[in-house]
Amino acid sequence: MGHPMSSPAHARHALLYMWRIRKFEEAVEDLFGRGMMHGTMHLSIGQEASPTGMCMALTLQDQITSTHRGHGHCIAKGADLTRMIAELLGKEIGYCGGRGGSMHIADVETGNLGANGVVGGGIPIAAGAALASKMMKKGSVSVSFFGDGAMNEGAFHEAANLAAIWKLPMILFCENNKYGMSSSTEKAFAIDNLADRGKGYGIPAVNVDGNDVVDVYEQAKIAVERAKSGEGPTLIVAETYRWKGHSRSDKNLYRTKEEIEEWRERDPIPKFTSKIIEAGLMTKEQCDAIAQEATDAIIAAVNESVKAKPADPAGLLDAVFKKASA
């Protein structure tokens, strides 16, 4: 995939996928509210530009690992919307047969090695995938998405160190949405710039506007080219913000309404829409049609998933234990 501003087709892709993520998350929130989904959810509304820009710099062969707030990563890498909704609804046609739920969607065919309910849990997995790529000379890169809170986990430090000393084709992509649950970055870090963490490992690091899909793509492309040329990992810190609480039960008592509203005004979707209209890549009518296309796709995915067969509890262990050969 090319630069979001390089052609109408690329602009359309970027806008469509950001709208798909937004509409998917809104649908999930609605389904949870109506009691049709169980457990919890971690919405990424407001962060759509980060996964879209990063994944537009990747090929199908490149791999990602995701997080508990991972629906956007999965969609940006090309996942099937129906299988995603079905997974959250506990249906057999879901990506994990309805057994994994919101925090554990994986789609190996599109290069998604899986979301992870453990904070920072996907980072060493991505490092392992990068090591495999290097040893087998696959020419692919692995990207680990994680939040600011994960940068204080041991898994981040260990994987970053190994990636650096072995020059692994890996990108450490931090979605800095300012809060690890309710702990602000100001309280959790002694440094002002999270990208400075890269210096300790000899990893080049860059800050990007995580609400600007063009800025994200441009820096992601540089990091991908660097990784694939054998120069090792890059740390990208995308400054962004989640509009909703950490999870379904979060009452947002640790941040102000004014702060949330300030970030809502920096919505990545209208920001990019204005850019492509001003550049003459698309008309307002075409952009509106893309938003409707995304909405229709989510509605269709929900309708098909609701009618699908529920996962059978009797098969709970089928994907856990390998059947003994005769």
Q: Which of 8-17, 38-47, 192-201, 313-322 has the lowest mean pLDDT?
A: 313-322
- Write the CATH number for 189: 3.40.50.970
Estimate to the nearest angstrom the gap between the alpha carbon of 50 and the chain centroid: 7
Residue from 108, 118, 235, 115 nearest 171 by CA: 235
pLDDT greater than 80 at residue 197: yes
- Are the CB atoms for 167 and 178 separated by under 8 Å? no
Residue from 67, 81, 263, 99 nearest 175 by CA: 67
- pLDDT, position 37: 87
Residue 321 within a domain: no
Residue 233 within a domain: yes
Residue 322 CA to residue 192 CA, distance in Å, equals: 49
Residue 319 within a domain: no
- pLDDT, position 301: 98
Orientation of helix 8-33 relative to helix 81-88, angle to 10°:
20
Mean of all residue pLDDT scores within the chain: 95
Residue 30 CA to residue 28 CA, distance in Å, equals: 5
pLDDT greater than 70 at residue 193: yes
Tell whether the torsion through CA atoms of 295, 266, 271 and 66 is positive or negative. Answer: negative
Residue 300 within a domain: yes
Residue 322 within a domain: no
Give me the DSSP letters along 151-175.
GGSHHHHHHHHHHHHTT-SEEEEEE
| % residues pLDDT > 90 (the chain) | 87
Residue 166 within a domain: yes
Residue 317 within a domain: no
Phi, psi of 142 (to 5 degrees): -115, 140
- Are the CB atoms for 113 and 129 separated by under 8 Å? yes
Phi, psi of 146 (to 5 degrees): -160, 165
- Residue bearing the bigger pLDDT, 38 or 309: 309
Q: Which of 43-57, 205-219, 244-258 has the lowest mean pLDDT?
A: 244-258
- pLDDT, position 214: 98
Report how far apart, in Å, the C-alpha atoms of 159 and of each of 194, 196, 228, 325 are: 17, 16, 18, 37
Residue 140 CA to residue 61 CA, distance in Å, equals: 6
Sequence length of the chain is: 326
- pLDDT, position 142: 98
Estimate to the nearest angstrom the gap between the alpha carbon of 209 and the chain centroid: 15
| % residues pLDDT > 70 (the chain) | 98
- pLDDT, position 30: 95
- pLDDT, position 326: 59
Structural domain containing residue 86: 8-248+257-310
pLDDT greater than 80 at residue 319: no
The mean pLDDT of 236-253, rounded to a whole number, is 91
Residue 96 CA to residue 117 CA, distance in Å, equals: 15
Residue 14, H or E segment: helix 8-33
If 0-12 CB within 10 Å is exposed, 13-18 middle and 19+ buried, where does residue 222 land? Answer: middle
pLDDT greater than 90 at residue 38: no
- pLDDT, position 1: 82
Please write the tens of the pLDDT for every residue from 96-108: 999 888 999 999 9
Please write the tens of the pLDDT for every residue from 245-288: 898 888 888 999 999 999 999 999 999 999 999 999 999 999 99
- pLDDT, position 39: 83
The mean pLDDT of 291-306, rounded to a whole number, is 98
| Number of domains making up the chain | 1
Q: Which of 154-158, 229-233, 319-323 has the lowest mean pLDDT?
A: 319-323
Query: Tokens in use for 151?
Result: 């940068």
- Are the CB atoms for 159 and 127 separated by under 8 Å? yes
Residue 65 within a domain: yes
- pLDDT, position 313: 85
